[in-house]
Amino acid sequence: MAFPTLLTGPGNRLTSVLILLFYATLLSTKDMYSYVTGALVLFSLWKAPSLRVVTLEKNEQNILLWMLAFAGISIGVTIWHGFYVRSFEVPVKFAFGVLLILSLIKYPPKPAALWSGLLVGAISGLAVASWKMWQIGEFKAFGFTGAIQFGNLALSMAVLLMVGLCWLMANDSPHRRLWFVLLALGALCGLLGSYYSGTRGGWVAIPLFIGLFLLAYVRRSNLLACGLALAVLLAAMGFLAYQSPLIKERVQEVYTDLSEYATHGSSSSSSLGARFAIWGAAWDLLKEQPVLGIGEVRFRQELQDRSQAGLVGKVPAGLANTHNTFLEVWVLYGGLSLLSLLLMMLSAAWYFLSYIRHVDSVLRSYALGGLCLIGGYVIYGQTQIMLIRNNTLLFFLLTLAVLISLMHQRRRAVSVVGNS
């Protein structure tokens, strides 16, 4: 199989350019990626009449069905509760996510757009973060967003670039060395971005990523080589964790925060303690209305009332959000919306999982990327609202759309070859 199949295969020029620009500007600009996404949505709306002929397999239909269910239920619940205008942002973007998936299946980007965009985005993101760290004199990578979002996005981009590296090792090409160096450089920059962000919630996902890579690529024929590679990787990670002052500091803060929460409870002001306090308050409120949630307006008011009554400290009550994706969705949009979101993610995970051991290395790489995306977001979402923030939500929706479209395109190509 020729190397250009993965990097320079057939695809639509316009969607390719827009996809490349999205990833390239995600970490290095303040909001350029939003304008790029808007242009992609406008293109999809323009081409909407032609999308009626798109043929989907059952798993793809399920993903779109649950995305639409989440969008519809969340919009209805938001209107029922009373709302801020921004409360519609998330469900509307999920509805546009359905449109993007259909559009990219019909007009798929070139695979090179994904890998090149991630490569440029990881390198430029680290460059911007380094510049800002130099300006403030503190080793805390955040770019133009929060440190948690920056770190989680950088790690996700690094993992996807490593998917490309694994594909390279299984396929020959006259350009293999050049692409290997470029993809490895991008992955390294993404990992450094995650490291300097100090995002502990992202680092927790690393064992899952390792497990998924092993699931995709370990065979009897390479069991020894994979075992040795894993041992070297674990040893390197252990050495880094032992020697790195940053990692030691972040781990020590966990114990400090837990001790502070044990002392102050709902009045805790530490990073983890404030999260635990607002989670407890949100859970108490959800007991009253688990199906429809309570909406953003009432949630904010209840937090202030509880703070004034001394039931919740000022720091937890003043947090901008619950710092948990799934709890946030439950509070704002209700249990039915949360269920539809979980079913969407499970449907997408099952779709990718069905190809994770496929004999075709290209299909397998897209499947691995999809599982890493979903698994990573599930873990990231325990300590940050990854599907609520603009940049992290757009990254999830667009990457999901790109990977589904590339898998759809590749699956049809493999099927044609198999039947010829």
| Residue pLDDT, tens place only, 297-318 | 999 999 999 999 888 999 998 9
Tokens 């790489």 — which residue?
365
Q: 233 vs 51, 75, 280, 337, CA distance in Å?
A: 45, 45, 38, 40
Residue 23 corresponds to which tokens in the numbers above? Answer: 């990833």
Determine the average pLDDT of the residues in 102-119.
94
Half-sphere exposure of 109 (CA within 13 A, CB side): 28
**Is residue 416 over pLDDT 90?**
no
Q: According to the model, what pLDDT value does residue 418 have?
A: 59
- Residue-wise pLDDT for 5-15, tens only, equals 445 556 688 99
> Position 254: which residue type?
V
Residue 342 corresponds to which tokens in the numbers above? Answer: 């979980």
Q: How many residues are recorded in the chain?
A: 420
Euclidean distance between CA atoms 353 and 171, whole angstroms: 22
Q: 31 vs 16, 130, 144, CA distance in Å?
A: 19, 19, 9
Contact predicate 149/388, CB 8 Å: no
Pick left, alpha or beta for residue 211 (phi over 0 → left; psi -120 to 50 → alpha; otherwise beta). alpha
* Res. 68 pLDDT band, cuts 50 70 90: very high
Give the N- to C-terminal CA distance of the chain in Å, as an integer.
16
**Of the candidates 239, 148, 163, the residue with the CA atom closest to the CA atom of residue 194:** 148
Rg for the chain, CA atoms, rounded: 22
- Residue-wise pLDDT for 240-286, tens only, equals 878 888 888 888 899 998 999 998 888 888 989 999 999 999 999 99
Q: Which residues of 329-358 are buried (b: 16+ CB within 10 A; e: fewer)?
A: bbbbbbbbbbbbbebbbebbbebbbebbeb
- Residue-wise pLDDT for 188-201, tens only, equals 999 999 999 999 99
**Of the candidates 379, 386, 361, 383, the residue with the CA atom closest to the CA atom of residue 207:** 379
**Is residue 350 over pLDDT 90?**
yes
Q: Average per-residue pLDDT in the chain?
A: 91
Contact predicate 366/406, CB 8 Å: yes
Tokens 């990573």 — which residue?
376
Q: 379 vs 25, 54, 249, CA distance in Å?
A: 25, 33, 21
Say how far residue 109 (Cα) sits from the centre of its chain: 19
Phi (first) and psi of residue 109, to 5 degrees: -75, 160
Q: Higher-confidence residue: 420 or 238?
A: 238
**Is residue 2 over pLDDT 70?**
no
Residue 275 corresponds to which tokens in the numbers above? Answer: 């999260």
Phi (first) and psi of residue 12, to 5 degrees: -80, 135
pTM for the predicted model, two decimal places: 0.95
**Of the candidates 283, 276, 249, the residue with the CA atom closest to the CA atom of residue 261:** 276
- Residue-wise pLDDT for 187-237, tens only, equals 999 999 999 999 999 999 999 999 999 999 998 888 888 888 888 888 988
Tell me the H-state helices in 55-110: 58-81, 89-106
Euclidean distance between CA atoms 199 and 143, whole angstroms: 14
Q: Give the 3-state secondary structure of residue 12.
A: strand
Helix, strand, coil percentages (3-state) for the chain, rounded to 5, are: 80, 0, 20
